[in-house]
Amino acid sequence: MKVESLQDNIEPRVTIFTGIDPSEPDYSRQTTLTLDTYIQTKSSAENLKGFVKPEPGIGCPFYFSRATSKPKLFSKSFSRLHYIVDTTVKKANSKSKKTVKKEEVYIDQLTQQMNIETTIEGNKSEEIYDFTLGIKYEDRILNSCPIKQLDLSIPGMIIYSDQGAMNINVHLGFNLNYKFLGIVQNSRSSGRDLYVWEAVEYNKTFEDQKCDKLVTTQYLLLTNDDNLGEQFMLHSTTINGFTKTGNNYIRVLETSRVYRKFEPTIQSEDYDLKLNVDKCYPFESQHRTIKLHFKCQGDCDHFKSEIYQHRFAIKSMITRTNQISSSRISNMEVIPDSDGATAYIKFLEAPEIKYAFYFDSRFLMPERLIPGSSIFVAKFEKECFEAAAKSPANFQTVIFCYDQERCFAFNEQKDLTKNSDGEFCNIYQIPLRNLHRHSLELPLDKIDLSIGWKKLIYSLTDSSKTALYSCDLMENVASKAERHFDSHYLYDDHTRLIPNDENILKIDGVKNVGECFHACQQTEKFDCRSISICPDVDQPECIISNISRSALTQNDLMTNSSCKVLYRNPMLYYVKVSNRKYKSTITVSREGFYAENCANLCYETDDCLSFQDCNRDCTFGGYYTDSSTEFSQDCDIYIPKVLHKFTDNGKRIVSNVFHTELGLTLDQCAALCHDWDNGDEVCQSFNFCPSTKTTSSCELSNYKIEDSSTKTIDSKICHYGILCQLWLHFIRR
């Protein structure tokens, strides 16, 4: 039989035999035998790649597809990334079948910061990372932001220049040795081709699971975005772990990550808000505002409107001194003019060095610590840290022993044995080698004296236009009056609500604060505003109320040393726009009002669309726009927090718009649309175009994409937001 091609490998030659089967009782019955013949010939990998497709996720030892370069996300480099991902983790030996979590992540590689908001079974948590200092702030209620130490287990952590750093490619797993698997389609690709790369690692631990083999599979979509170049965008990732039994690999771990949003560029103000740790330093003594003026030489007029370029250049210039980490720059307002630029910069206190590192307490023999260590004399633990931090040796272990008042520092991580006859010591492990970097952070009271402000110079360039800015003036700015800050709940100790069966209800069977909160939120047709909890009595008591703090009277409250009343903070319903004030006063003005009181009054007033706080001077306002406000050292404006009421419908936008505003953030654009009321004009959706080289734009429309009369266009950078159906019936709060 002559074989003309490899087609037989896919479609066999068929031979049909007809005859009598002797084993059948009825010899007269004819039977048919069909023989499929496959011709096996020697084939190159080039020929095999067309029809041999390894199963993704198992780590095939042979990949027949032509070798391609490592997958690259976009042809243009990017340093910022925002993504939303749904992650499912299944473990073979776990009691729970699977764990599902949603994460929204903002990464800024240039400033070495990251924000992660995680939701698991309805429970939300937030962490803000400062990789320069190797710490993270955990967001908790009542303004408590515990500081935790980072280590190399954080996705994306690398050792760069002998210290820890964040790398976006490593964070996404693109630093591995990938092989091209091929092109596939699956149930989540909507008929589009997914380009698949796979990497295999051995003897790894992932999700606290030890694996003999770990297989990472990256599914990428081809994109053709003018801003990003014709390259790939991450669609999903699977990570499977296997243990080896004999010659077989058994899957013990399945992880799936599906990206619902993946944006390598986004407006800088959104990052500034997400990476801000201002509320972790709630006291005015922990803040300082510095005013800098820069004189300009060159094409100064050309850069008068480039606010974000100025802010980025000034922030980068300050952090490059290695004396102030990015997370300590809380806010920056830049006002350029034809002669130069003026910047108002708000700094935060440096985190306490001792609380930035984990420690373990043990009884040790100090004389055994002497070999190979650097020894410092220190009466207190803080002195020990400060002495070790001043050394540029990048110590990885610091030990303080109380009795002998000695401090031992090692260049490597030490595994120490307990000794019951020894002295009591605290052992600090510093895997990122960043102890010395902490010592360089300037205390707040030395920022204005220690940095060589006169040497600060930055330049801006755009095509053939260039301007050089040099600092010629620095001065301290008086801080605003002390105020309360955004906590989830405000509270009064030694106080109890008095039930009245109408607005104040007693809930039976509640054992703790969490259950009381839950009962208040779940009570039908009840706007939960405050709760009273008495946890330390024999029968814990829970009382809920739909009355705000300011509206409660003496008849609603009584003194009780075992109880406290917690009030929902109205500040949670507003987004702060720092250092802005109305150009003209609108309506109500109250003196001696904290921002929380002003927020509560505005929340309960139908025609209050925003409010202004100027050192406890409260003023109501209308729609917030950039053109109706101006810079202020002493004022902040608060707008409704309504972005969650809108759905991001991607980059297909409506062309039927009735109003346009420039210079707004996404939150501000959503608030403008949400509260717009101008006769027959009702805003049902908006187009938001974040700032790139020009200012951002916010376009309001009374149309939706699904309306048959709506004209739409495809956009490269703009997003379309539509008011969710759930909220169309509740246009006001």
Q: Which class for 194: exposed (0-12), middle (13-18), buried (19 or more C-beta within 10 A)?
A: buried
Phi and psi (nearest 5°) for 42?
-70, 130
How many domains are there within the chain?
7
pLDDT in tens, 468-482: 999 988 888 755 443
Joined together, the tokens standing for residue 356 give 């930035």
Can you tell me the mean pLDDT for 156-172?
A: 82
Joined together, the tokens standing for residue 551 give 């509206």
Q: Lowest mean pLDDT: which of 344-353, 367-376, 512-521?
A: 512-521
Q: Are residues 114 and 250 in the same domain?
A: yes
pLDDT at 480: 45
CA–CA separation, 685 vs 723, rounded Å?
6
**Residue 46: in which H helix or E strand, if any?**
helix 45-48
Could you tell me if residue 63 is inside a domain? no
Q: Lowest mean pLDDT: which of 300-309, 581-590, 608-617?
A: 581-590
Query: Of 515, 540, 568, which one is at a domain's C-terminal end?
Result: 568
pLDDT at 295: 94
22: pLDDT strictly greater than 70? no
pLDDT at 693: 55
Non-local CB neighbours of 66 within 8 Å, separated by 6+ positions = 45, 46, 49, 180
Q: Are residues 165 and 249 in the same domain?
A: yes
Domain containing 601 equals 572-640
DSSP 226: T
Label residue 66 by pLDDT band (50, 70, 90): low
Bridge pairing between strands 287-298 and 248-263: unpaired
Q: How far is CA 1 from CA 7, 15, 33, in A?
A: 14, 12, 19
Of 603, 643, 642, residue with least CA distance to 620 = 603
Label residue 201 by pLDDT band (50, 70, 90): very high
Could you tell me if residue 448 is inside a domain? no
The stretches of 320-462 forming alpha helices (DSSP H) are 381-390, 435-440, 447-450
Could you tell me if residue 70 is inside a domain? no
Helices and strands in the chain, H and E counts: 10, 44
Q: Are residues 363 and 497 in the same domain?
A: no
Can you tell me the mean pLDDT for 494-515?
A: 80
531: pLDDT strictly greater than 90? no
Non-local CB neighbours of 161 within 8 Å, separated by 6+ positions = none
Choose between 294 and 593: higher pLDDT.
294
Q: How far is CA 691 from CA 73, 406, 628, in A?
A: 22, 55, 19
Q: Are residues 320 and 245 in the same domain?
A: no
Work out the end-to-end distance of the chain between its first and last CA atoms, rounded to an integer number of angstroms: 81
pLDDT in tens, 245-288: 888 899 999 999 999 888 876 666 677 878 988 878 877 778 88
Non-local CB neighbours of 446 within 8 Å, separated by 6+ positions = none
461: pLDDT strictly greater than 80? yes
Q: Are residues 248 and 369 in the same domain?
A: no
Q: Are residues 500 and 466 in the same domain?
A: no
Could you tell me if residue 103 is inside a domain? yes
CA–CA separation, 708 vs 153, rounded Å?
51
pLDDT in tens, 220-248: 988 765 554 447 888 999 999 999 988 88
Q: Are residues 607 and 589 in the same domain?
A: yes
Non-local CB neighbours of 132 within 8 Å, separated by 6+ positions = 112, 319, 325, 326, 327, 434, 437
User: E strands, 304-371, where?
Assistant: 329-336, 340-348, 359-364
Q: What is the mean pLDDT of the chain?
A: 80
Label residue 637 by pLDDT band (50, 70, 90): very high
* CB-CB neighbours of 392 under 10 Å: 11
Non-local CB neighbours of 253 within 8 Å, separated by 6+ positions = 89, 90, 91, 92, 206, 207, 209, 211, 239, 240, 241, 242
DSSP per-residue letters across 406-432: EEEEESS-------TTSEEEEEEE-TT
Give the residue carrying structure tokens 């013990």.
252
pLDDT at 27: 54
CATH number for the domain harbouring residue 563: 3.50.4.10
Could you tell me if residue 198 is inside a domain? yes
Q: Are residues 341 and 374 in the same domain?
A: no
Identity of residue 579: N
Could you tell me if residue 200 is inside a domain? yes
Query: Of 568, 590, 612, which one is at a domain's C-terminal end?
Result: 568
Of 603, 599, 649, 642, residue with least CA distance to 731 = 642
Could you tell me if residue 494 is inside a domain? yes
Label residue 514 by pLDDT band (50, 70, 90): low
13: pLDDT strictly greater than 50? yes
Can you tell me the mean pLDDT for 148-164?
A: 79
Could you tell me if residue 441 is inside a domain? no
Can you tell me the mean pLDDT for 1-6?
A: 40
609: pLDDT strictly greater than 50? yes
Joined together, the tokens standing for residue 544 give 């809920």
519: pLDDT strictly greater than 50? yes
pLDDT in tens, 380-420: 888 888 888 888 888 889 999 888 788 899 988 777 777 77
Q: Are residues 578 and 599 in the same domain?
A: yes
Q: Are residues 341 and 394 in the same domain?
A: no
pLDDT at 104: 92
pLDDT at 251: 92
pLDDT at 89: 93
Give the residue carrying structure tokens 């320069």.
132
Contact by Cβ (8 Å): 426, 382: no
CA–CA separation, 387 vs 376, rounded Å?
7
CATH number for the domain harbouring residue 239: 2.50.20
Q: Lowest mean pLDDT: which of 143-147, 411-415, 651-655, 672-676?
A: 143-147
Q: Are residues 121 and 246 in the same domain?
A: yes
Identity of residue 267: Q
3: pLDDT strictly greater than 60? no
Can you tell me the mean pLDDT for 578-591?
A: 77
Q: Lowest mean pLDDT: which of 12-26, 151-165, 642-656?
A: 12-26
Q: Are residues 411 and 502 in the same domain?
A: no
Identity of residue 92: A
611: pLDDT strictly greater than 90? yes
Choose between 445 and 347: higher pLDDT.
347
422: pLDDT strictly greater than 50? yes
| DSSP three-state, residue 194 | strand
* CB-CB neighbours of 186 under 10 Å: 13
Non-local CB neighbours of 345 within 8 Å, separated by 6+ positions = 289, 290, 291, 292, 314, 318, 329, 331, 332
7: pLDDT strictly greater than 70? no
Q: Lowest mean pLDDT: which of 138-147, 408-417, 670-679?
A: 138-147
pLDDT in tens, 696-730: 889 998 888 777 778 888 776 777 788 764 333 33
